[in-house]
Amino acid sequence: MAELTFFSPAKINLFLHITGRRDDGYHNLQSVFRALDFGDTLTFRPKTGGDLITLLGDNLPCEQQDNLIVKAAQLLAKKFPAYASSVSVVLDKVIPVGGGLGGGSSNCAMTLIALNQLWGLHLTPKELMKIGATLGADVPFFIFAHAYQTDAIALGIGDELTAINLPSREYLLLFPDESINTAELFSNKDLIKNTPIISDLTAKIPNFLDLQNPPFFNAFETIVCEKYQKVNQALSYLRTFESATQTTARMSGTGSTVYLPLIGLGKNQVEFIDYPCPAVLVNSLYG
């Protein structure tokens, strides 16, 4: 089979609630995941012999053995050894590492999808999502989004997904140079962990799409802003534009990326602003 190329999108959380702790130690959540037209590119090329997977590219985010692309290939090969064959993967990395945008999980998901095709496994999206959930909580969303071309309501650890149709939006993303310790956040005594699940989210889209009105919020935002000053500064900067856009600036995931939905503020008005950290203008992938 010829080479396959996949776009590996970033995602943002429009809100993020922790709804409880599970018996296995993980936390349940409720969120809306939105895919962006900003992301990495992965090219998969069958090769003869050698290692199962060879990962190539500039600015690789970690050692090969720790990369979710490699782990995804190894897991599929272990489950389906009769079908596995050697592949080289070229990663064009754009999504910031550790920014709360799901870059590693997105790469992992695209690897599962690509190898499902290259190796002729004929696994369904649901089957791929089940495998992906063992590699990372956000992986199922990217498989789901790719298969059904949609954003999603997420429950459970992020693996219980329902499609949601949202209107398209443009976003300004800022990338503060902070490395967030996620485990530390979950153990923070001030983390709100028992937010009730909100029903009928489709009817409440105006309260979390452009704005973030109560009861919607990001459970980690206040904690992160208190500890990580660069995140706090970037978010405060975006909030200076809220009166012009009539939208709410917020943090994605556990950080460090912060973003602002752009309405009423022209693209030419934000392209020349002196941002406090690296920034990018993006659009929603769906909608």
| Catalytic residue ranges | 11, 138
Q: Tokens 């609630």 sit at which residue?
A: 17
Cis-peptide into 284, omega within 30 deg = no
Q: Cα-flanking dihedrals φ and ψ of residue 250, to 5°?
A: -160, 175
Give the closest residue to 116 by CA, choosing from 158, 147, 137.
147
189 burial type by CB count under 10 A (0-12 exposed, 13-18 middle, 19+ buried): exposed
Pick from 30, 157, 57, 40: nearest CA to 106 = 40
Structure tokens at 92: 């064009």
Q: Residues near 31 by Cβ (< 8 Å), separated by ≥ 6? A: 13, 14, 15, 16, 17, 153, 154, 158
Does residue 133 sit in helix, strand or coil?
Answer: helix
